[in-house]
Amino acid sequence: MLDKISPETANAQAAGDPRPMITGEMAREIYHQPFNDLLFQAQTVHRQHFDANAIQMSRLLSIKTGGCPEDCGYCSQSAHAPTGLKASKLMEVERVLAEARKAKEAGSTRYCMGAAWRSPKDRDMDMVLAMVQGVKAMGMETCMTLGMLSPEQALRLKEAGLDYYNHNVDTSERYYSEVITSRSFADRLETLDNVRSAGMKVCSGGILGMGETAEDRIDMLVTLANLPEPPESVPVNMLIPIPGTKLANAEPVHPVDFVRVIALARILMPTSHVRLSAGRTEMTDELQALCFLAGANSIFTGDTLLTADNPGESQDEKLFKRLGLKPEPLQMEIEAEHTGCDA
């Protein structure tokens, strides 16, 4: 369905961009096709670019919790939400590295570190950079999510060896102000541009179940797919309603609708890792299996995601065994295998 040439596509190709521009109309046609056809298309695309039975394993640690000045309606760490979560100081570097060693021993190949900041302060950057360097020295991929970044901060992180930077767009541009008012959708895109300009890989996705429509979910993915370079990693979160937050009583997203979004993400961004992120504790094994069939090929391991619950290693191990899934090797090992070089 992506072979239809729109005027936008023709203009992009004439300008030398080999990627077709994805229109909302094209994405809606894919999303709303019969469910079995959608899954077949997504799995076909997935197998063209990935091992269909390999899942990339990441671990996420909160290195600075609570007290965030942003007013994100879904977040327990917002200072605007009376959730009872106390603000903490930035973790010591050695404690972060100790947790990273445990994650590597448990099979994670990427270590993600998140701080509840609007943006990092210069006084904290040296410790943050030391964390990146320490995790990188263990042979793991590194990822951070620290809020908005200036071009200079992005360059410093790149020079320290940071592989990925996470900064979710969360939802569509239309619906964004219903969830967050302390920063704009354009602010999000500016940080993604700063990350990409610094030479890092982008991790960016959104959250489902915040009161948005199917159109908003489609538009969010179209925005990501049409970036100058699509994100290498696309986390798709299911909202965890937290008492005290603005979205504490949000209506849950229907499981079939959730799978449709996973499938659309896979089709629109065929070479990206699509990650099942927050909300897996509320997903049945059957729903997770459908998501993997639809093209999801990355998860967070461990029993905690920042401040939320997550299935532990033993539960994931049982699910993987039941489905015949296996952890994906470190990306540098995959590239070495393809080139015939020793890692």
Catalytic residues: 68, 72, 75, 112, 143, 203, 275
> What is the pairing mode between strands 304-305 and 308-309?
antiparallel
Contact partners, residue 7, CB within 8 Å, separation at least 6: none
Q: How many CB atoms lie within 10 A of CB 134?
A: 21
Q: How many CB atoms lie within 10 A of CB 17?
A: 12
Placement of tokens 């952890």 in the chain: 327
Please give the single-letter amino acid code of residue 242.
Answer: I
| Residue 205 CB-density burial (10 A; 0-12 exposed, 13-18 middle, 19+ buried) | buried
* R_g over Cα of the chain: 19
Catalogue the E-assigned strands of the chain.
54-64, 110-115, 141-145, 164-166, 201-203, 206-208, 233-238, 273-276, 298-301, 304-305, 308-309, 326-327
